[in-house]
């Protein structure tokens, strides 16, 4: 088969489309013939040499894919060859085939095309596990999403609205904020010219937001705590703004607030299986009902992964950038 390899870390040109051995599904795994994969910022970090795959994972980038089951390993039940699926991966999505633990498989949702389903597993599992399973967003509360036009942001907006929450977002352009508004965002903040702390305070009559989904890390830490309401919850999922920041414990105590930080890729199989099962139960029906949809900015051939990485690094996209292998995807 062919896959995108990274012989040496570097820029987008470090991504090489070449022949590699076919994966073989082991105990509890299925073999998926990949129709499409999706680009995540973790893939860029891996390409740069800063984010090694977990032990035992595929060395090729790609944390989610869609396709058809081509083989079933020992101990797997409930799936059949030919089933159309999408999958949460620890790596290997930039390839024509990938072996996946059966617990990380999802059927392609009703009403979603095979290729576009590749845009869903990583973002839906990230949003559901952080915003709902950890931060326990409730109907009537306000969620602040940093990077509202990103893949995770566009899904967070839709999911929060589907469950009856109010949504505030930050983004860097008028066009990106408009895209967020079309998905249901209620409070729009252009971080290039507005202070999100003041904007959300004004919009919530001084109360602040109940939950924050943060991809920035250190850069926003102090202001995120200021933006929280009493009993607020800050969920950190990224470090685009650095890894070290100062935390005013007094401010946190005064608000009886909580901070969590999680990484999906490094979680053990049992935790990923539980998250995927919860997503299938609680989220997947919302696609059939029309409450949710994948947001895809563009599709590029997988062999042109370097071009896709440039698009994501330039941050000019809204939603996900997909890599297509199959002509009928």
**Domain coordinates of the chain in residue numbers?**
2-122+265-324, 135-261
| 171 CB-contact burial (10 Å; exposed 0-12 / middle 13-18 / buried 19+) | buried
Q: Collapsing DSSP states into helix, strand and coil, what is residue 293?
A: coil
Buried b / exposed e over 208-234, threshold 16 CB at 10 Å, is bbbbbbbbbbbebbeebbbbbbeebbb
Cα 304 from Cα 17, distance rounded (Å): 8
3-state DSSP helix/strand/coil percent for the chain, to nearest 5? 35, 25, 40
Task: List pLDDT tens digits, range 70-89.
Answer: 999 999 999 999 999 999 99
Cα 49 from Cα 66, distance rounded (Å): 26
Find tokens 């950890």 and name the residue: 134
Q: Name, in order, each residue with C-beta under 8 angstroms of 312's C-beta and a sequence gap of 6 or more.
A: 39, 41, 44, 321
Confidence (pLDDT) at 328: 44
CATH class of 2-122+265-324: alpha beta
pLDDT per residue rounded down to tens, the chain (329 residues): 999 999 999 999 999 999 999 999 999 999 999 999 999 999 999 999 999 999 989 999 999 999 999 999 999 999 999 999 999 999 999 999 999 999 999 999 999 999 999 999 999 999 999 999 999 999 999 999 999 999 999 999 999 999 999 999 999 999 999 999 999 999 999 999 999 999 999 999 999 999 999 999 989 999 999 999 999 999 999 988 888 989 999 999 999 999 999 999 989 999 999 999 999 999 999 999 999 999 999 999 999 999 999 999 999 899 999 999 954 44
Residues comprising the chain, all counted: 329
Give the CA angle between residues 260, 266, 269 to the nearest 5°: 110
Secondary structure element (H or E) that encloses residue 223, with its range: helix 221-227
Task: List pLDDT tens digits, range 232-263.
Answer: 999 999 988 888 989 999 999 999 999 999 99
| CATH architecture of the region 135-261 | 3-Layer(aba) Sandwich (3.40)
Query: What single DSSP character describes residue 225?
Result: H
Confidence (pLDDT) at 241: 87
Q: Where are the beta strands (DSSP E) in 197-325?
A: 209-214, 228-236, 258-261, 296-301, 320-324
328 Rama class: left (phi>0) / alpha (psi -120 to 50) / beta: alpha
Contact 32, 68 (CB under 8 A): yes
Secondary structure element (H or E) that encloses residue 109, with its range: none
């Amino acid at each position: 088969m062919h896959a995108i390899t990274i012989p040496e870390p570097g820029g987008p040109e470090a991504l090489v489309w070449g022949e590699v051995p076919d994966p073989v599904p082991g105990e509890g795994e299925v073999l998926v013939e990949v129709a499409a994969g999706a680009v995540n910022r973790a893939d860029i970090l891996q390409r740069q040499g800063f984010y090694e795959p977990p032990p035992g994972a595929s060395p090729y980038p790609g944390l989610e894919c869609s396709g058809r089951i081509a083989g079933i390993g020992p101990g797997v039940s409930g799936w059949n060859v030919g089933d159309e699926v999408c999958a949460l991966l620890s790596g290997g999505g930039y390839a024509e085939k990938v072996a996946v633990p059966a617990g990380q498989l999802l059927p392609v949702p009703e009403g979603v095309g095979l290729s576009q389903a590749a845009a869903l597993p990583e973002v839906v599992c990230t949003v559901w596990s952080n915003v709902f399973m950890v931060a326990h967003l409730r109907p009537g509360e306000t969620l602040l999403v940093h990077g509202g036009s990103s893949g995770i942001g566009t899904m967070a907006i839709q999911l929060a609205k589907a469950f009856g929450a109010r949504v505030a977002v930050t983004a860097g352009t008028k066009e990106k904020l408009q895209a967020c508004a079309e998905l249901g965002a209620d409070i729009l903040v252009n971080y290039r010219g507005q202070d999100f702390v003041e904007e959300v305070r004004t919009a919530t009559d001084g109360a602040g937001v109940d939950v924050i989904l943060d991809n920035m890390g250190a850069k926003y830490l102090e202001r995120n705590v200021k933006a929280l309401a009493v009993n607020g919850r800050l969920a950190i999922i990224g470090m685009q703004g650095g890894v070290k920041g100062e935390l005013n414990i007094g401010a946190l105590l005064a608000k009886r607030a909580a901070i969590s930080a999680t990484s999906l890729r490094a979680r053990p199989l049992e935790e990923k299986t539980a998250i995927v099962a919860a997503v299938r139960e609680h989220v997947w029906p919302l696609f059939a009902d029309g409450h949710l949809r994948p947001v895809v900015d563009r599709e590029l051939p997988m062999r042109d992964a370097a071009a896709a990485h440039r698009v994501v690094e330039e941050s000019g996209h809204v939603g996900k950038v997909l890599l297509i292998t199959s002509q009928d995807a």
